[in-house]
């Protein structure tokens, strides 16, 4: 096991609430942190534009974090969009499928993301990879489950002959606790930064600023985020 105080982590950083919280979590623990985002033809590609403001904001919040933030990477994976008929990659209404999953599920997305992340980490000499997967407050995506991540971790280690560690600090947190974690890490300054500048809405809506952030307010991602914000504020009042 690596010593976080002397090692580098690679954070899957989309620009959303969860990945922004994971970035702060990693900055609080690791000596150096690099970030990785993916352009895969998502309808809410505006999330990728949020990353620079979030990084700049975190640098301003904590001078120690400013010294730890390293390179930012973006990988284009258009194949995911071309083979997926989902509401995240097509202009169709969001609805539940016959299999009980919302049609926002992009099959294999996290498996592909983590595999590419491991390949990049391999080249850069990094063994700690951080992702915002969660099976507590989520839409039921099977590639967000703890068993999936553990199995993939084992496969990556075998397939690349490395000792990767996939960290999922949000796995057992609901959205209220995720807001709370951000508050613990960076106080009101960090929660305000994430509220105003991270992007979660599946439709890419950034017209009106709600108390919980920007979004349509109706898609599953917005509903989870808004519910978590209300519960966080109720418990922290």
Q: How confident is the model at residue 137 (pLDDT cuts 50, 70, 90)?
A: confident
Q: How confident is the model at residue 82 (pLDDT cuts 50, 70, 90)?
A: confident
Of residues 117, 121, 155, 157, the one with CA closest to residue 133: 117
Instruction: State whether residue 228 is helix, strand or coil.
Output: helix
CA dist 178 and 47 (Å) reads 18
Residues in the chain: 237
Q: Are 217 and 226 in contact, with CB atoms under 8 Å apart?
A: yes
Round the average pLDDT of the chain to a whole number and report it: 90
pLDDT at residue number 91: 62
Q: How confident is the model at residue 80 (pLDDT cuts 50, 70, 90)?
A: confident
Average pLDDT over residues 158-175: 97
pTM of this structure: 0.92
Which is more confidently placed, 40 or 102? 40
Which is more confidently placed, 30 or 98? 30
Dihedral in degrees, nearest 10, Cα atoms 76, 161, 128, 141: 60
Q: Are 26 and 4 in contact, with CB atoms under 8 Å apart?
A: no
């Amino acid at each position: 096991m690596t010593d976080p105080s002397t090692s580098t982590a690679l954070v899957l950083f989309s620009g959303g609430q969860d990945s922004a919280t994971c970035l702060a979590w990693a900055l609080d623990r690791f000596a150096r942190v690099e970030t990785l985002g993916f352009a895969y033809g998502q309808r809410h590609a505006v999330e990728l534009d949020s990353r620079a403001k979030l990084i700049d904001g975190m640098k301003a919040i904590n001078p120690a974090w400013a010294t730890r933030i390293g390179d930012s990477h973006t990988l284009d994976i258009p194949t995911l969009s071309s083979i997926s008929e989902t509401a995240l990659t097509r202009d169709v209404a969001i609805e539940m499928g016959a299999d009980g999953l919302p049609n926002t599920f992009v099959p294999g997305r996290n498996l592909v993301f983590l595999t590419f992340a491991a390949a990049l980490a391999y080249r850069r000499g990094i063994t700690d990879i951080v992702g915002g997967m969660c099976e507590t407050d989520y839409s039921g995506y099977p590639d967000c489950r703890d068993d999936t991540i553990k199995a993939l971790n084992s496969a990556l280690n075998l397939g690349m002959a490395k000792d990767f560690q996939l960290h999922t600090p949000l796995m057992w947190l609901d959205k209220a606790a995720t807001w709370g974690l951000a508050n613990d890490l960076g106080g009101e300054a960090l929660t305000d930064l994430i509220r105003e500048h991270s992007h979660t809405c599946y439709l890419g809506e950034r017209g009106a600023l709600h108390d919980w952030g920007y979004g349509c307010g109706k898609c599953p991602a917005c509903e989870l985020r808004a519910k978590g914000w209300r519960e966080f504020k109720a418990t922290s009042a």
